[in-house]
Each structure stands twice: as structure tokens, then as C-alpha cells.
Amino acid sequence: MRSLVIATAAAFGLAGCVNPVDDMLSGQYSETTVVSPDPALVGTWTGSMSASLLTLKVNGDGTGLYCYSLNENNALGRLKYDGQRLVFQSSTTASVRDVRPDAIVIRSDYTFSKDAILRRDSGLLEASPYCAKAMQ
């Protein structure tokens, strides 16, 4: 059993696992230089990211809001776009991988994450009730 734990730890170390705690402790949100996004990224987007329902509002100046809900756990915070990534108020990040007229594809910058597709949601119809109310 001990060798399994050591092997797993070594594999993670060799794979260069990225831990969100490192970003959270870095405080990079306040140091992020905001970049105006391509106009196609501007707007409100909703989709599933992991087990949460995530809604983003990206403004033309590269600032915005994010909101997520998981069961009864809800959070609302600010975001900044740095030209390639969304940097959340918690200093965690997600790369913007694709921008289409009806959807954006983002991926959390941490190990074992998957692409998340968020659909344009101008009326907040797909957002959780908490996020729809908080982001009006």
C-alpha cells in the first residue's frame, strides 16, 4: 500500500500537476493586467463546469463577473481577462480555448480538467436561480 502511495505521488510530481491552491495563494487577481477581449467573447455565458453550473459575464473592457451554483452552494465574484485566460477573484484561472458566436470553450488550468462549453445566455435563462438574480 505504501509503495502505491509513493508511486502515485511520484507520478503526480513527474506529470507537473498544477494545483489551484498555488494560484489562490499567489493573489494574481489583483496583479492581472486587463485586456479588452475580442468582441465575440463579450456577453453572458452559461454552462456546466465540473459539477457546477457556471455563468460568466464578460464586459468589453475585459472585466466581468462569474457566478456558480452547486446544490445550495453559490458564489458570485469578479473576473479579469488577460488576453488568454479568465482570472477569477479567487486567483484561479481558466483558459479561453475557443470563441464562437453561440458558445465559448474554456478549461480550468488545473490537472485533470476538461473543456467546458458555455452557451450564450443574454437573458440568464440557463443560469441558476441564484446567479440569474445576482447578475441582473
- Per-residue pLDDT tens over the stretch 38-70: 999 999 999 999 899 999 999 999 999 999 999
Residue 10, in any domain of the structure: no
At residue 18, the 3 state secondary structure works out as coil
Determine if the pTM surpasses 0.75: yes
Q: Per the structure, how many domains does the chain have?
A: 1
Q: What is the pLDDT of residues 94-129, one digit of tens each?
A: 999 999 999 999 999 876 789 999 999 999 999 999
Are 59 and 135 contacting, i.e. CB atoms less than 8 angstroms apart? no
What average pLDDT does the segment 81-90 reach? 94
The pLDDT of residue 91 is 85
Residue 8, in any domain of the structure: no
Least confident of 4-8, 32-36, 89-93: 4-8
101 vs 6, which has greater pLDDT?
101
The pLDDT of residue 125 is 98
Q: Show the domain range for 60.
A: 19-134
Residue 1, in any domain of the structure: no
The pLDDT of residue 110 is 74
- Decide the pairing of beta strands 103-108 and 52-58: unpaired
Residue 46, in any domain of the structure: yes
- Compute CA distances 16 → 11, 13, 19, 61, 87, whole Å: 9, 5, 9, 33, 21
Q: What is the pLDDT of residues 12-37, one digit of tens each?
A: 333 345 555 555 445 567 889 999 99
Residue 70, in any domain of the structure: yes
Residue 101, in any domain of the structure: yes
CATH number at residue 78: 2.40.128.50
The pLDDT of residue 31 is 84
